[in-house]
Amino acid sequence: MLVFDVFPKVNIFLKIIGINEAKYHLLDSRFCLARGELKDIIAIKTSDFFSLKGDFDCPLHQNTIYLAVMELQKFLESKNLSAQPLKQIAIEVEKKIPCGAGLGGGSADAGNVLFFLNQKFFNLSNEDLCFIAKRVGADVPFFVMQCASANVYEIGDRVEKFEEKNLEFEILTPNIYCNTKQVYHQYDKTKAKKTLLSYSYQKFAKMPSCDILKIYDRKQLNDLLIPALELYPALRDFEESLGDEWFFSGSGSSFFRLRK
């Protein structure tokens, strides 16, 4: 049996730099793994047939873990490799990372399942694994690469490991579901592109996360905060109650700070 913890990510910064031909927003971001009490726990054991259980917020065929297993199977079969182990596993998820919270919980589950299944059964290259991960979802490659910290580009599928000391975070997630698609739409609608921060890729890509958080505030660092506050009045009320040391992750609704 395989049993492993799955931790969320936080975005130290998230800057939208354009839109591609497929109308996806292009971004520059720093992802950091937030190791702590908030985590999912996944168990994988052998079985007579494939099954997936957990408290999910979507139909099985839309679940990121299911999609990851299907894409892995498709890749193996395209290379004339046996995918039989995937047809004889039972996956059970103890879900604690909230959805609609900007923490990448679904991507984290999918990426870690790909990583550990590959370790156990297939021994594919990192390049192959990242190819599969990109087909599952934009943020999945970060979790497949098992990075503590990384600069992430384009639609979130280009990942460059960033070496820095491990950081500890506190995370606050209000009982507010932020719809990622709607937050990006609001960003376009209100032209929130006029950011408060003159962004420099060369500068941010090399700067340690703790230094970034010391120098800039949450509205400067995350281009999706203002659109999210405009969409969700309750989130605005929550944000106004927080001190300056709290920062916004992804499209929300979670805030985080460095653990004191």
* Of residues 9, 257, 36, the one with CA closest to residue 110: 9
H or E, element range at 46: strand 40-46
- Active-site annotation holds for 244: no
Work out the burial of residue 197: count CB atoms within 10 Å of its CB; fewer than 13 is exposed, 13-18 middle, 19 or more buried.
middle
**Which residues share a beta bridge with 161?**
150
Catalytic residue among 9, 15, 39, 134: 9
Q: Is 177 helix (H, G, I), strand (E, B) or coil?
A: coil
Catalytic residue among 109, 139, 157, 223: 139
Count other Cβ atoms within 10 Å, centred on residue 18: 10
- Active-site annotation holds for 109: no
Sheet strands side by side (includes 255-258):
169-172, 255-258, 247-248
Q: Do the beta carbons of residue 163 and residue 151 sit within 8 Å?
A: no
* Of residues 176, 171, 187, 184, the one with CA closest to residue 232: 176
Task: List the catalytic residues.
Answer: 9, 139
